[in-house]
Amino acid sequence: MGRAAVFIDGANLFFTQRHLGWQIDFSRLMAFFMSGYASVKANYYVPASEPVSEENAAFTRVLTAHGFRITSKSVKKIVNKETGVIVMKGNLDVELVVDALIDADQYDTFILFSGDSDFIPLLRALKAKGKEVIVYSTQGLSARELLAEPGIAYCDIAVLKERIEQSRLGDPAREGTFAVSDQEFSVRLPDIGELFTGTVLKVQPYGVFLSNPFHVKCLLPLSFFGISKYIKDLTAIVRMSDVFAVSVFHVNISREIPEITVKLVDKKMVEELASRIDG
């Protein structure tokens, strides 16, 4: 399993979701890629309006909580001196291209979320560097030149609906939503003792950060692994493909991005991790 880098053209993805008629759950999207690669670095490029609305700030927190690096710049108002027409400009294509080339040594597979043919020179350059190149978009919003480009794998986002669609949680008493344009995200916080499964986002010496359905930072501390053996290097026994069944131990809402602490409850996983220590 190689290293992947996901680059998302946020403006293009917004119109893609509107065209599809459903919204992406970015926690599930990250988990989807984590299941296929040893490591995933996700980058999201989006124009920013001033002042920043509460909804956009909340959306930023969701992406950050699930490991996305966000690059944004303010939308500019350009006035045509001859016609007086105001044009809004907030394109981040150049930033995306520059970052993709600078970081090229850090990934084996380049994954682009955009149907814009302007990225073809970048895709060709990365192919020349020996990178696998995959484009995610959808029929009707993908440039013909992009679809016809040789050596590039194309995936229609529509076929991933069951795996990455944003679902609505059904408990109105604990559920809140915020919207970014026509998109809604759940901000429900879990109950203590609530069970869920999460995939690995990042491994640190003190614990593992997991994906989760609540759009919060989720830490499985080393002390909650339930392993009696001494663990010298957590990164040596936890794999990015691991899936953890956990129970919520603590919910912290005092920070900008809520945080939850969880305990490992899967006995088979505990045994598997313990066996890796000896191995």
More reliable by pLDDT, 239 or 67: 239
Residue 73 has pLDDT above 70, yes or no: yes
In angstroms, how far is CA 89 from the centroid of its own chain? 25
Q: How confident is the model at residue 58 (pLDDT cuts 50, 70, 90)?
A: confident
Residue 270 has pLDDT above 70, yes or no: yes
Residue 75: the pLDDT is: 65
Mean pLDDT in residue range 163-176: 55
Lowest mean pLDDT among 44-58, 76-90, 138-152, 203-217: 76-90
Strands 68-74 and 76-79: what pairing? Answer: unpaired
Read off the tokens for 144. 């013909």
Phi, psi (rounded to 5 degrees) for 22? -150, 160
Lowest mean pLDDT among 47-56, 75-84, 86-95, 119-128: 75-84
Share of the chain above pLDDT 70, in %: 83
Mean pLDDT in residue range 198-211: 87
Q: What is the mean pLDDT of the chain?
A: 83
The CA-based dihedral angle spanning residues 14, 243, 108, 26, taken in that order and rounded to the nearest 10 degrees: 10
Q: How confident is the model at residue 169 (pLDDT cuts 50, 70, 90)?
A: very low
**Which SS3 state, helix, strand or coil, does residue 199 take?**
strand
Whole-number Å distance between alpha carbons of 44 and 201: 16
Whole-number Å distance between alpha carbons of 120 and 152: 10
Residue 14: the pLDDT is: 87
Residue 180 has pLDDT above 50, yes or no: no
Question: How many Cβ atoms are within 10 Å of 195's Cβ, its own excluded?
Answer: 11
Residue 178 has pLDDT above 90, yes or no: no
Whole-number Å distance between alpha carbons of 4 and 29: 13
Residue 37: the pLDDT is: 87
Mean pLDDT in residue range 241-257: 86
Identify the top-confidence range among 133-137, 139-143, 172-176, 201-205: 133-137
Phi, psi (rounded to 5 degrees) for 133? -125, 125
Strands 86-89 and 39-48: what pairing? Answer: unpaired
CB proximity list for 19: less than 8 A, separation 6 or greater: 138, 140, 141
Residue 182: the pLDDT is: 41
pLDDT tens for 137-159 read 998 889 999 988 999 999 999 99
Amino acid, res. 54: E
Residue 167 has pLDDT above 70, yes or no: no
Whole-number Å distance between alpha carbons of 87 and 185: 30
pLDDT tens for 9-39 read 988 898 899 899 998 888 888 888 888 888 8
Query: Structural domains in the chain?
Result: 3-164 (3.40.50.1010), 191-278 (2.40.50.140)
Residue 5 has pLDDT above 60, yes or no: yes
